[in-house]
Structure 1
C-alpha cells in the first residue's frame, strides 16, 4: 500500500466548478494540499483527453470525481470507468464520487466504482440551491420569470456548501470509506415555492410559470443550445423531476453530525450579496 505524507495533494476534478471550487476551498481550510483538475491547470485535466489523466493523478493521495456535464449523458459510465482504472493503475485508491439522485445512469457509475477495488465514498446529491443563482436559472430569475417544464413536484434542494463539506470530510477522513451519503436539504419545495421565496427576499416581482416541454425545447434550440445539452436538460426536467426524489434524507447529518442548510437561509444570504440584480452577471 502506498503511504502518503500529509502534504501529498488531493486531486479535485472540476476544481473550478460549482462543487469543485468549494471542495478545494474546504480542503485548504482543513490544511490539505490540493491539485485542481481542470483544462487550464498547470497539469491540465480534460475528460475528453485521456492522455491528461495519469499526469494529473500522479503523486496524489485521493481524488474527488465530478463528471461534467452529468453522469446521465451517454458515454459517462465508460469514461469514468476508464478514469477509475487509470487511477488504480497509477496507485491511487481513494476516490469520492459526486453522483446524481434519482438518475439510473449515475447509479450504474456508482456500482462500477464500488466493484472497482477503490476505497470509495459516494455523495449522491439532489438539486442544488445554487442552480438558482450561479447557472442558467439565475438569468431567468433576473428576468423576472422562471419558465420550466416542471409541475407541482417537490424537491429537497441542497446547498452546494453542504455537498462540499461532506466531500472534503470524506477525502480527508478514512472513516468515510465505503459510505454512500444521499444528501438533501431539510425540506421539500416545488419550483414555484422556491421562486416565490427568492421574490420575497429580493422584493422583486419574480414568478414561476410551467410551460410544455416542447416549448422549452424550442426555446433552447432558438438560443443555440447544443443538442446533447438540450437532451440532458429535458431528461433532468421531465424524467428525474417526476416526483421520485420527493423525500428528504439524513445524509448530511450522517456524514457531518449536523443538519443541512435551509433554502430560506441561502436565499437571504444570496439576495443580500446582490446575486439577483439585473446588473449581476451569471456565472457558468
Structure 2
C-alpha cells in the first residue's frame, strides 16, 4: 500500500497533519530523527530510501533556518531522490516572505527545486505560528511572565498551526491545489504586547511583553547555545515585525479551505483551557 510521507512528523505541523490523515484512514508514514514511523535525518541520505519506500505523496519540511545554500540544497537533493523513487506530489512547508528573499535563504532553493520537480506541487508560506506562544520559542517567557523580544509595537497576523495542517492535508489529497502557492496568515495583525495581554486575561495572571535591543537579543540567544547565524536570522525576522513589514494579511487559508482563518482569540481560549500555560 502506498503511503503519504510526513517529514517532521513529530513537529508542530507534521503531527497535526498525520493525525488528520490517519482519522480518514489514509496510509501515513511519519519521518523524524526520533519517535516517528521512520527514522529520518536530512543530513543522512541513508535514511531517505527506507522512508520513501512505497510513497507517492510527501510533505516536505526543511528544519534548518541557518543562512547558506547548503541547507537548501539538502531539500533539493531529497526532492530529486523522492521523484526518482516514485513520489508524484510534493507539498513544501516554506515560510512567509520567501518570494522576496535572496538566494542565501535555505528555503529559496527548496522552493525552486519543488517547483521544477516535474510532479504536482504545492507551497505553503505561513506567517508566525500562534503555537509559538505555547509549544516552543516563546513558551518559557510566557510562563515566566516576561516575553522579551525585539519587536516593539510591530504587528503580525499569527496563523494557527491547525489551519496550516488543514491546508496541507487538502494539498496532499486534492488535485485542485497543484501549482498553488498559499500565503497563510491569521485574520488580523496584532502586536506581541496585545498577544500577551490576551493570554494574561485568559490565564488570570500578568504577562508582559518587553521590547529588547536586537544586539542584546542576539547575545542572549548565543549565550543560550543558539548558533550565531541562526540567532541573527531569527532577530532579523523579528525586526521585520518591529519595522512594520509583517502586518499584511493574506487569503491563502480561505482560498484553500473556503473559510476564514482561525482567530488568535480562539487559539488562546482553547490553549488556556488545555492548561498549556499553567
TM-score clears 0.5 = yes
- Counterpart-to-counterpart distance in 2, 1:29 and 1:270: 22
Return the offset for 1:73. Answer: 5.7
Could you list the per-position Cα deviations for residues 39-75 of structure 1 after superposition, in whole angstroms to 9, with x for gaps in the alignment? 2345321011012112211201100011113386652
- Counterpart-to-counterpart distance in 2, 1:248 and 1:61: 33
Tell me whether 1:48 sits opposite 2:49 in the alignment: no
Tell me whether 1:86 sits opposite 2:81 in the alignment: yes
Return the offset for 1:110. Answer: 1.8
- Counterpart-to-counterpart distance in 1, 2:253 and 2:108: 19
Contact between 2:202 and 2:272, CA under 8 Å: does it hold in 1? yes
Moved more, 101-110 or 249-258: 101-110
Return the offset for 1:241. Answer: 5.8
- Counterpart-to-counterpart distance in 1, 2:241 and 2:8: 23
SS of residue paired to 1:197 = helix
Q: Could you state the TM-score of these two structures normalised by the residue count of structure 1? A: 0.90
RMSD: 1.7
State how 1:77-156 maps to structure 2 within 5 Å: 77-103=72-98, 104=101, 105=105, 106-156=107-157
2:8 to 14, 34, 44: 14
- Counterpart-to-counterpart distance in 2, 1:23 and 1:247: 26
State how 1:1-284 maps to structure 2 within 5 Å: 7-40=1-34, 41-70=36-65, 74-103=69-98, 104=101, 105=105, 106-239=107-240, 242-277=243-278
Return the offset for 1:239. Answer: 4.4
Counterparts in 2 of 1:71 and 1:167: CA distance versus 1, 3 Å: farther
- Counterpart-to-counterpart distance in 2, 1:23 and 1:88: 21
Could you list the per-position Cα deviations for residues 21-43 of structure 1 after superposition, in whole angstroms to 9, with x for gaps in the alignment? 00101111122111011123453
Contact between 2:66 and 2:229, CA under 8 Å: does it hold in 1? no
- Counterpart-to-counterpart distance in 2, 1:129 and 1:43: 28
SS of residue paired to 2:182 = strand
Contact between 1:15 and 1:37, CA under 8 Å: does it hold in 2? yes
Structure 2: segments with no counterpart, 5+ residues:
none
Task: Report the count of equivalent residues.
Answer: 271
- Counterpart-to-counterpart distance in 1, 2:6 and 2:260: 25
- Counterpart-to-counterpart distance in 1, 2:157 and 2:222: 29
Counterparts in 2 of 1:17 and 1:72: CA distance versus 1, 3 Å: farther
SS of residue paired to 2:91 = strand
Counterparts in 2 of 1:195 and 1:73: CA distance versus 1, 3 Å: farther
Counterparts in 2 of 1:244 and 1:108: CA distance versus 1, 3 Å: farther
Contact between 2:129 and 2:161, CA under 8 Å: does it hold in 1? yes
SS of residue paired to 2:138 = helix
Return the offset for 1:240. Answer: 6.6
Moved more, 176-185 or 126-135: 176-185
Counterparts in 2 of 1:181 and 1:162: CA distance versus 1, 3 Å: same
SS of residue paired to 2:30 = strand
- Counterpart-to-counterpart distance in 1, 2:242 and 2:78: 29
Q: Could you state the TM-score of these two structures normalised by the residue count of structure 2? A: 0.92
- Counterpart-to-counterpart distance in 2, 1:43 and 1:160: 23
